[in-house]
Amino acid sequence: MNELIAVTKRIKLPGFAAKQIADWLYKKEIQSIEEMTNLSKKTRELLSADYEIGIRAPVSVSESSDGTKKYLFQVLENKYIETAYIPDKEHATICVSSQAGCKMGCIFCMTGKQGFQGNLTTNEILNQFRSLPEFKELTNMVYMGMGEPLDNITEVLKSLDIITSEWGYGWSPTRITVSTVGLKAGIKEFLEKSRCHLAVSLHSPFDEERGTLMPIQRTNSVEEILSIIRDYDINSQRRISFEYILFKGMNDTPRHIKELARILNRIKCRINIIRFHPIPGSQFESPDLKTTIKFKEALIAKGILTTIRTSRGVDIQAACGLLSTLEQNK
C-alpha cells in the first residue's frame, strides 16, 4: 500500500486513489490498467506509461492422476520456476517458489543442484498465485517450492502483506505456511513481521548428521533455531512445524525418536513426516510405509503431534526442481 501511495503521489492523484487501484488489482482482478474505469483516462494513461499489471500465464502444466498439477512459469529471462496445485477433499493448496534455483545446497534436493539463479520479485511470487488457472478454488498456500523463502525475505514479506491485508486479497494468515531451511535472522524477522505459520526443515536432530544433509547447519544450528522459537511468544493461532524427510536406514531409528523428543521439549509444535521423492543420482531411499507409520506412532507416544504428509504427484516428477531442470536442459 505504501508503494501504491508513492505512485499516486508521484502522478499527483488524491490520497484515496491508492485504495481504488488496490481494489482493482486485488479484489476485481483486472487484466489491464485500462479497466480501472473509476480513474480518469488521463490517469490511466499516466499509469500505463510506467506500469503494467504483471499477469503472466504459466508456460506449461503437468497433471498427475491424483489431480495434482505442476505449472512452470518463466522468469528472469529463460529460467523456470515450479508452482504446484494440490487439491484435496476440502482444501486446494498452492505451493509457490520464492527463488529461481537455490543457494542452500541440501543434498537430497534437485533445486539445490540447480544452484542459485536469482530472487523472485514480489510480482513473480504473486503471479504464481494470481495466474494459477485454479486461483478461485485456492484455500491454502505454502511457500515450499523452489528456493529458500527467508533468503528472499523482503519480497516474501511484501507478498504475504498483499495476500493477507484487508486492502489486498484479504486471506487469513492461518491459511499460509512459510517453510525454511532454518535461517536464524530470517526466522526472527519473519516471526516479528508476519502472522503466518512457520515450517522448519529439520530432517535430523543430530548436528553432524543434519550437516551432511543440509550445509546450512554449519552456520545455523538446530539448537540456535530452537532457542529463537522457544524465546518467541507464539500465539495460539500460529503453528510451528518441523519437516522431517525420512531416509531409509539413516534418520528413522529409535535413537532419532528419542533425540527429537528431547530437543523439541517445551515447544508447542508438530512434526510433519515427508516421504522422500527420489532424484537422479541420489543414494537415498524412502523407508516402507510400515516403518514410516511406526516412526510416526513412536513420536506421538513421546507426546509430539506428528503427521505423515501424503505423497502427491509422484507420476509428474514430484520432487521439487525436477521439472524446471528438464525444461532448462531442453
Q: Which residues contact ligand SF4 by CB under 6 A?
A: 102, 104-106, 109, 111-112, 146-148, 181
CB of 292 to ligand SF4, least distance (A): 19
> Comparing C-alpha atoms, which of 259, 243, 248, 319 is closest to residue 290?
248
- List residues bridging with 181 in a β-sheet: none
Is 320 an annotated catalytic residue? yes
- List residues bridging with 180 in a β-sheet: 200
Contact 312, 68 (CB under 8 A): yes
Is 269 an annotated catalytic residue? no
Q: What interhelical angle do 254-263 and 222-231 show, nearest 10? A: 40
CB of 192 to ligand SF4, least distance (A): 22
CB of 151 to ligand SF4, least distance (A): 8
Bridge-based pairing of strands 240-246 and 60-63 is unpaired
Angstrom distances, CA of residue 262 to CA of 187, 203, 210, 303: 22, 15, 16, 11
Q: From the centroid of its chain, how far is CA 206?
A: 25
Residue with smaller CB distance to ligand SF4, 146 or 322: 146
Residue with smaller CB distance to ligand SF4, 157 or 322: 322
Count of positions (residues) in the chain = 330
> Comparing C-alpha atoms, which of 238, 215, 24 is closest to residue 104?
215
Q: Of residues 82, 124, 148, 155, which has the active-site annotation? A: 82
Tally of CB atoms within 10 A around 254: 10
HEC sequence for 297-312: HHHHHCCCEEEEECCC
The answer to whether the Cα torsion of 127, 130, 135, 141 is positive or negative is positive
Residue with smaller CB distance to ligand SF4, 109 or 246: 109
CB of 76 to ligand SF4, least distance (A): 16
Residue with smaller CB distance to ligand SF4, 58 or 321: 321
CB of 102 to ligand SF4, least distance (A): 3
Per the structure block, which three cell numbers stand in for 40?
480518469
CB of 238 to ligand SF4, least distance (A): 22
Q: Of residues 106, 196, 269, 320, which has the active-site annotation? A: 320
Ranked by CB distance to ligand SF4, the top (closest) residue is 112
Residue with smaller CB distance to ligand SF4, 107 or 314: 107
Residue with smaller CB distance to ligand SF4, 103 or 188: 103
User: Which residue numbers are catalytic?
Assistant: 82, 320
